[in-house]
Amino acid sequence: MTLQQAKFQYLLRLGDSSLIIGHRLSEWCGSGPILEEDIALINIALDFVGNATAFLGYAATVEGNGRTEDDLAYLRNEREFRNLLITEQPNGDYASTITRQFLYDVYTYYLYDALKSSKDETIAALATKSHKEITYHLRHTTEWMYRLGDGTAESHERMQNAMNDLWMFTGEMFDMDEVDQTLIKEGVAPDLNKIKEQWEAHVKPVIAEATLQIPSYNFKQKGSREGKHSEHLGFLLAEMQSVHRAFPDAKW
Amino acid sequence: MNFIGIMEDEKKLAAFEAKIASGQKIEPKDWMPEAYRKQLIRMMSQHAHSEIVGMLPEGNWITRAPNLRRKAILLAKVQDEAGHGLYLYSATETLGIDRTELLDQLHTGKAKYSSIFNYPTLTWADIGAIGWLVDGAAIMNQTALARGSYGPYSRAMVRICKEESFHNRQGYEIMMHLAQGTPEQKAMAQDALNRWWWPSIMMLGPSDDQSPNSDQLMRWKVKMESNDAIRQRFIDRTVPQADFIGLSIPDKDLKFNEQTGHYEHGPINWEEFFEVIKGNGPCNAKRLKARNDADKKGRWVRDAAMAYAEKKKAKAA
Ligand SMILES: [Fe+2]
Ligand SMILES: [Fe+2]
Ligand SMILES: [Fe+2]
């Protein structure tokens, strides 16, 4: 695997995860639990779309085949997407959305922090910008972890259910393959074992303070590195890409 | 109220009116007639409700926006609208009513919101049409309201109008791209204009002969201009914009009057307008249900946030 191939794959992982979780958050538009949360969710979705645009744009540049960020977002099929499985999980109730966001935000908080010192200057610059946004997202989701985990009996139960459902998607966040090995060697990407340690050290005390339990099962889902997704992704893409694909020659 | 009480109020009213006539703003702590307060609560909360109900037809297309740039712009616009809603609810609260009560009025159908949001967004071009026409019409109305007498409302309008101009431009830009695009795109743009033109004309309110402006509201600078005057400004500004991008306004009677320098439009179907206001528009039921569902679905979240805040307070004590 060449450095260029590895970079392209890696950039798709970053860009796709942002694109898909941003899409999920934007599905909340107008139906948030309180107006302030509607604003926060749209704002966070907007950050993710911006982040996806930047990383997919850079992916297209690295690929060098004349594709654009829009080609990558709108003209690839399910099996070509590299977003993490957790990002495509349906919104469910607010407990699911918050739990999904928290587990993912902590991951990107440490991942992007490491990417700030990537030997690839473009990645380093994009990561620096994104990390500021992620810091704000994480503060927001952490506050809601406490509120909902340690709020009422009902909210606690919903949060525990969400944690039980979503925990299985956290394992693959730290899976490494040839792409990672190639980039680690060149100082472009971090070793995910280290990110995993940081992630665990961060999520455990928050989950405990939110009076929640980490599920006892050890089973973990995986597959996004090879584009093996859950059944949800196909519907999400069908919706997201519908207008773009219906008018193949159009500019917008 | 006794005689002395009445005399007192008359004195206050005279001072209140003199203050407005001199161009000063009325602030929340100032004395104001009950009719003034009531009318402002009605107008401002209707405006706030319109901002948040308006998120629904536009939110409908965020997930399907045709490219990443358009998606980001639409998200930013809808975020602005939510922000306007929040800002206007806070401004309304200065009149002594809280947001929960205002939202109850919306959810029970007691309070109104702009008739325009009871029309469906059927294609991507509708997002262009809304920005161009609906935000365009709203700007006409709001620049007038920015000169109104109630301080918090007038300041809110100044701030909001700046963002509405961006909304208006992005909408027109969408339409321009479509009109200059493929034949299908151009047809989509024309279709959207056909469907949104009359509702946009009507959203500025009944014509003056059907809604005589109370001198009092004009004198109190609650209302600044008549509906027909605002409508005329909107039409005069928008028709050349349609011409410029090669779209045609769906009004066969529309013509420019050289003498007056204004466009004259054909008859407006007020029957349709009043039906929509009564609740019989294509999306009234859907919009109201969406708001109610969100409210119900969010209750346990708000309860939990409250319970957590109480626990924290108890711990700190
Ligand atoms: Fe904004
Ligand atoms: Fe607005
Ligand atoms: Fe607007």
d(CA A233, CA A83): 10
List, for residues B108-148, the tens digit of each pLDDT value: 999 999 999 999 999 999 999 999 999 999 999 999 999 99
DSSP state of A252: -
User: Nearest chain A Cα to B76, which residue?
Assistant: A46
d(CA B171, CA B134): 9
The B residues from 91 to 150 touching A (CB cutoff 8 Å) are 124
Contacting residues for B52 by C-beta, under 8 A, at least 6 apart: A30, A35, A38, B81, B82, B85, B291
Q: Quick check: B311 and A150 CB within 8 A?
A: yes
Any idea how long chain A is?
252
Residues of chain A found within 8 Å of residue B86, distances taken between Cβ atoms: 35-36, 39
DSSP state of A34: S
Nearest to B294 among A31, A53, A243 (CB): A31
d(CA B61, CA A126): 28
Exposure string over A108-125, b if 16+ CB within 10 A, otherwise e: bbbbbbbbeebebebbee
Strand partners, B257: B262
**Which ligand is the nearest neighbour of the Cα of B79?**
1
**Which ligand is the nearest neighbour of the Cα of B73?**
1
Three-class SS state of A131 = helix
Q: B5 is written with which tokens?
A: 């009480």
Of B293, B217, B230, B299, residue with least CA distance to B36 = B217
Q: Quick check: B64 and A27 CB within 8 A?
A: no
Any idea how long chain B is?
317
The B residues from 270 to 309 touching A (CB cutoff 8 Å) are 290, 293-294, 297-309
List, for residues A161-192, the tens digit of each pLDDT value: 999 999 999 999 999 999 999 999 999 999 99
- How much is the pLDDT for A188? 98
Q: Indicate the burial class of A153 (C-beta count within 10 angstroms; 0-12, 13-18, 19 or more).
A: exposed
Nearest to B66 among A39, A53, A244 (CB): A244
Residue to mutate among B52, B185, B300, B313, with most A CBs inside 10 A, is B300
Three-class SS state of A111 = helix
Q: Quick check: A42 and B294 CB within 8 A?
A: no
Residues of chain B found within 8 Å of residue A52, distances taken between Cβ atoms: 68
Q: Quick check: B75 and A42 CB within 8 A?
A: yes
User: Nearest chain B Cα to A19, which residue?
Assistant: B68
Q: B23 is written with which tokens?
A: 């161009």
DSSP state of B108: T
pLDDT band at A218 (very low <50, low <70, confident <90, very high): confident
Residue to mutate among A19, A36, A37, A152, with most B CBs inside 10 A, is A152
- How much is the pLDDT for B295? 97
Q: Quick check: B68 and A42 CB within 8 A?
A: no
Backbone dihedral region of B109: left (phi > 0), alpha (psi from -120 to 50 degrees) or beta?
left
Contacting residues for A61 by C-beta, under 8 A, at least 6 apart: none
Three-class SS state of B102 = helix
Of B60, B68, B72, B124, residue with least CA distance to A73 = B68
Q: Quick check: A23 and B64 CB within 8 A?
A: no
ipTM metric = 0.97
Q: Quick check: B294 and A49 CB within 8 A?
A: no
Residue with tokens 């991942």: A111
Q: For helices B284-297 and B34-53, what crossing angle results, to 10°?
A: 90
Provide the residue-wise pLDDT of chain B in tens; the chain has 317 residues.
Answer: 677 778 888 999 999 999 999 999 999 999 999 999 999 999 999 999 999 999 999 999 999 999 999 999 999 999 999 999 999 999 999 999 999 999 999 999 999 999 999 999 999 999 999 999 999 999 999 999 999 999 999 999 999 999 999 999 999 999 999 999 999 999 999 999 999 999 999 999 999 888 766 788 999 999 999 999 999 999 999 999 999 999 999 999 999 999 999 999 999 999 999 999 999 999 999 999 999 999 999 999 999 999 999 999 999 98
Any chain B CB within 8 A of the CB of A71?
no
pTM for the model: 0.96
- Intra-chain end-to-end CA distance of chain B, in Å: 46
Are A206 and A150 a contacting pair, CB within 8 Å? no
Q: Indicate the burial class of A227 (C-beta count within 10 angstroms; 0-12, 13-18, 19 or more).
A: middle
CB pairs under 8 A between A and B: 142
Domain spanning A3-215+224-246: which superfamily? Answer: Ferritin, core subunit, four-helix bundle (1.20.1260.10)
**Which ligand is the nearest neighbour of the Cα of B159?**
2
d(CA B13, CA B218): 15
| A206 Cα distance to chain centroid | 19
d(CA A63, CA A143): 40
Are A142 and A242 a contacting pair, CB within 8 Å? no
d(CA A45, CA A48): 5
Any chain A CB within 8 A of the CB of B187?
no
**Which ligand is the nearest neighbour of the Cα of B167?**
3
Nearest to A39 among B66, B86, B305 (CB): B86
Q: Indicate the burial class of A185 (C-beta count within 10 angstroms; 0-12, 13-18, 19 or more).
A: exposed
- Dihedrals phi, psi of A190, to nearest 5 degrees: -85, 165
Write the CA distances from A128 to A10, A121, A144, A197, B93, integer angstroms.
17, 10, 25, 21, 40
CA of B83 to the centre of ligand 1 (A): 7
Domain residue spans in chain A?
3-215+224-246
Strand partners, B255: B264
Any chain A CB within 8 A of the CB of B192?
no
- How much is the pLDDT for B240? 98
Q: B34 is written with which tokens?
A: 């009950």
Q: Quick check: A251 and B294 CB within 8 A?
A: no
d(CA A232, CA A85): 10
Residues of chain A found within 8 Å of residue B82, distances taken between Cβ atoms: 35, 38-39, 42
Compute the CA torsion angle B29, B30, B35, B36 (nearest 10 deg): -90
Q: Quick check: A147 and B305 CB within 8 A?
A: yes
CA of B173 to the centre of ligand 3 (A): 15
d(CA B196, CA B17): 40
Three-class SS state of B147 = coil
- For residue A26, which amino acid is it? S
Exposure string over B163-187, b if 16+ CB within 10 A, otherwise e: bbeebbebbbbbbbbbbebeeebbe
Any chain B CB within 8 A of the CB of A146?
yes
d(CA A128, CA A136): 13
Summary count for chain A: helices (H), strands (E): 10, 0
Q: B142 is written with which tokens?
A: 């709001």
Nearest to A53 among B59, B72, B85 (CB): B72
